[in-house]
Amino acid sequence: MTIAASTLALVVPMDVPVGWPEAPDVNMVHALLIFAGIPLLLIILITLAVYLPSIARGERIAPGQPPVEDQWLGGPRSGTAELKGPEAQDAEAGGASGRW
């Protein structure tokens, strides 16, 4: 592949067309800021967007922590006392029974 590209470069003259301005020199610091700084900044911003809400709620984010118990998203805040199931077989409480 590289031999074919080298041969093509020898056969076809590749030069800046007449009338085009010369390309400016690229500053190495500017190139590093563009190609390394911007992706690094995006990684930091995404990481902060993921972890800051948990830190603000006071949750632990260390690896290996036990999972949060009794987490019900959008459920009642007072606990699961409102979710009692039926005490008897013919009770009309708790869940979808599929009977009308």
Highest-scoring range by mean pLDDT, 4-13, 32-41, 54-63, 65-74: 32-41
Determine, yes or no, domain membership for 88: no
Question: In terms of residue numbers, what domain contains 35?
Answer: 27-58
Determine, yes or no, domain membership for 33: yes
Determine, yes or no, domain membership for 16: no
What pTM was computed for the model? 0.45
Contacts 24+ apart (CB under 8 A), 11-15: none
Tens-digit pLDDT profile for residues 8-49: 778 887 777 888 888 889 899 999 999 999 999 999 999 999
Determine, yes or no, domain membership for 65: no
Determine, yes or no, domain membership for 31: yes
Determine, yes or no, domain membership for 99: no
Torsions phi, psi for 70 (to 5 deg): 50, 50
pLDDT of residue 6: 81
